[in-house]
Amino acid sequence: MLLFLSPSGTISIYSQGFLQADGARIVDEKGNEIILRGMGLGGWMLQEGYMLQIHNKGMQHTIKARIADLIGQENCDRFYDLWLQNHMTRADVDSLARWGFNSIRLPMHYNLFTLPIEEEPVEGQITWLDRGFTMTDSLLAWCKANNLYLILDLHAAPGGQGKDANISDYDETKPSLWESEFNRQKTIALWRKLAERYAGEPNLGGYDLVNEPNWTFEGKNQNGLEDSLNKPIWDLYRNITKTIREVDQKHIIIIEGNGWGNNYRGFEGPWDSNMVLSFHKYWNPNVQESLNGILALRDKFHMPIWLGETGENSNKWFTDCISLVEKNHIGWAWWPLKKINSVVCPLMIVAPAEYSQLTDYWNENTSRPSKELATSVLFDIVNNLKAPQCRFNKDVIDAMFRQRADTSTLSFKSHQVPGRIYATDFDMGYPGSAYSDTDAENTGEEGKQAGNKGYRYRNDGVDIEVCLDSPENTNGYNVGYIEDGEWMQYTIICDKEGFFAISARVACQDSTGAVGLLADEKQVATEIAVSGTGGYQNWKTIPVGKVNLSKGKHTLRFVAEKGGFNLNFIELLIQ
């Protein structure tokens, strides 16, 4: 069994039997406190438009309709068969365990388990579908093989549970979960069916009853942020708990408040001895005060709390968030594992360049792509869903695990000199150690809503964009939006001792920047002028200075003493 020591000193252990609530802690059968370190599988059973770079009506049912419109219903059905087959496999679970996760949160779409009420052949009847159960069985088996816990999350409840429609595939032309008694009964029945199936499974960590309800029952904010009672939510949870306990007395019941999970007004306390309160955290500062509300509930009701969903930010924010919650004995589940062309998750689904023709058509009503092109692109994507075809964003995992306790830096790429060092390949590490950027995260505060402004290549706070320099002079990206005082550090390996001439490939509009360079923390160049090149993609190479380096490992720090320019690469050539 693998042990992980958190910065707070709490030991969390891979699967050791059924989880249970023990006062304000989650423990295993041996009484060990468990800090859940999980990954949410957003996009597998339930697509959300933003994960596919679709920003206009991104509910799954509208995405399916658009795909069918472009490639035909038969090809669309085949596309979704392959999507479900390839998006999550044993290789993905093996990777999660290897990286350090001890749990997985499975966002389920009810329509893989049962028919929508509008499609039931007999009104009031519940028809069960095998596919969702079979997929869950496989995922649980992969979790067991890796000693991971699996937490079931009803992400799209029958009818949809919120006005934020993309989250639950809500269709406003049909009755929601809260507007249909039959939808609620189907939800209760689904949880009973799941509990019957998995009652004896110790690697099943718990049941997250309904993800992010966001609905007003009091005619206030449409997403339920201001409701004061939330009675229909608590009533539904009580009824689900009752039916689960008829067949399963062991597994944890996890509940979420209104308003995307965080509005617990009207909650009067636990109705079961094995319950956990979940909250979600996005785009706010990682300070103790940000947890005050949920910690107050833990103290008041003496119940465990769990950060059931978070992420979608820069690496600095990831490191700080995990450090904060674990210091407070709170486990977490990140979101999500993979998205199309995204640097913010561990795995990037690489889409063909022509995919932009599809998204432009869907988002901006540009010219319609041909059936042949759309079919080719979409089937390339479902092949690229497989873990070996995804790009591994190693900086994300490094930030989530190593950087919380280790302030040293690691090489992002091996840099042998004499040779060229691309600016984007700075070391991995926490800001202040590997790089410094003025706006390295999105805290939701004014002036702190950035991170990587170019959204390319890496998820650190350094701003990276597509580089249009000549092919022989680029790795495809450059550091941009450079401001005064920002810097990047690079670990290099010198093949031989000697004097090296240092140059930099730069571009700027018409302002004058200035750069400096440190080698092994000693200044070797300062106030080297960067004059205008006529555009931020008009590149020229400038001399920066000279340095004497011994054979072996060194660090270089490139400093923008005055910003306003872009940086493509640094080159060290022996004299």
Residue 11 three-state SS:
strand
- Cα 148 to the chain's mean position, in Å? 19
E strands in 145-274: 149-156, 204-208, 252-256
Superfamily of domain 408-574: Galactose-binding domain-like (2.60.120.260)
Per DSSP bridges, beta strands 487-494 and 416-417 are parallel
- Please name the residues in contact with 269: beta carbons below 8 A apart, sequence gap of 6 or more: 300, 301
> 67-76, pLDDT tens digit by residue?
999 999 999 9
Closest by Cα among 298, 207, 223 to 258: 223
Q: Which residues contact 497 (CB under 8 A, 6 or more apart)?
A: 549, 550, 551
Name the DSSP letter for residue 8: T
How much is the pLDDT for 15? Answer: 62
Q: Are 278 and 207 in contact (CB under 8 A)?
A: no
Instruction: For residue 469, give the amino acid letter.
Output: D
Between CA 491 and CA 481 the distance in angstroms is 23
Phi, psi of 316 (to 5 degrees): -60, -45
Q: Which residues of 382-417 are buried (b: 16+ CB within 10 A; e: fewer)?
A: bebbbbeebbebebbbbbbbbbbeeeebeebeebeb
pLDDT at 8: 38
Instruction: Please state the CATH superfamily assignment of the domain spanning residues 36-61+90-341 in this structure.
Output: Glycosidases (3.20.20.80)
List pLDDT tens digits, range 433-452. 999 999 999 999 887 778 99
pTM: 0.96
pLDDT given at position 478: 98
Please list the ranges in the chain whose pLDDT falls under 70: 1-15
Residue 393, token pair as written in the block: 């964003």
pLDDT at 510: 86
Q: What is the pLDDT of residue 13?
A: 55
Parse the chain into domains and list their residue ranges. Answer: 36-61+90-341, 62-87+342-406, 408-574
Cβ neighbours around 244 below 10 Å, total:
22
Name every residue whose Cβ is closer than 8 Å to that of residue 78 and which is 6 or more positions away in sequence.
Answer: none
The confidence score (pLDDT) of residue 5 equals: 37
Query: Around Cβ 345, how many Cβ atoms within 10 Å?
Result: 24
Q: Using an 8 Å Cβ cutoff, are 423 and 569 in contact?
A: yes
N- to C-terminal Cα separation, the chain:
54
Identical topology for domains 36-61+90-341 and 408-574? no
d(CA 243, CA 246): 5
Encoded tokens for 251: 């597994």
